[in-house]
Amino acid sequence: MMRFGLVVLLCLLGVTAQAQTTDLKRLGTENEALNWQAVGRLELAGRGFCTATLIAPDTVLTAAHCVYDSATGRALGAENLVFRAGLREGQAAAVRGISKLAAHLEFDPLGPMNMQNVSHDVALLRLADPIPSSELNWFALHNDRVTTGPVSVVSYGKGRADAQSRQRECQMLERQNDVLAFDCDVTFGSSGAPVFSHLNGGGRVVSVISGMTMHNGKKIALGMYLPPLVAELKTILRTGSGPKPTARIRRLSVGSGNATTGAKFVKAPGS
For the ranges 10-19, 32-41, 67-76, 161-170, which has the lowest average pLDDT? 10-19
**What domain range includes position 181?**
21-27+139-224
Q: Give me the pLDDT at residue 219, please.
A: 86
Q: Is residue 115 part of a domain?
A: yes
Q: Is residue 253 part of a domain?
A: no
For 7, residues 6+ apart whose C-beta sits below 8 A from its C-beta are none
Q: For residues 116 and 188, state if they share a domain.
A: no
pLDDT per residue over 14-51, tens digit each? 555 455 788 999 998 989 999 999 999 999 988 889 99
Q: Are strands 266-267 and 204-215 parallel, antiparallel or unpaired?
A: parallel
Mean pLDDT of 134-157: 93
Q: For residues 198 and 233, state if they share a domain.
A: no
Q: For residues 39 and 159, state if they share a domain.
A: no
Q: Name the residue among 117, 1, 9 with its Cα closest to residue 70.
A: 117
Q: Give me the pLDDT at residue 141, please.
A: 95
Helices (H), 13-100: 30-33
Q: For residues 143 and 62, state if they share a domain.
A: no
CATH of the domain at 128: 2.40.10.10
Mean pLDDT of 147-174: 93
The residue ranking higher by pLDDT, 252 or 126, is 126
Q: For residues 51 and 85, state if they share a domain.
A: yes
How many domains in the chain? 2
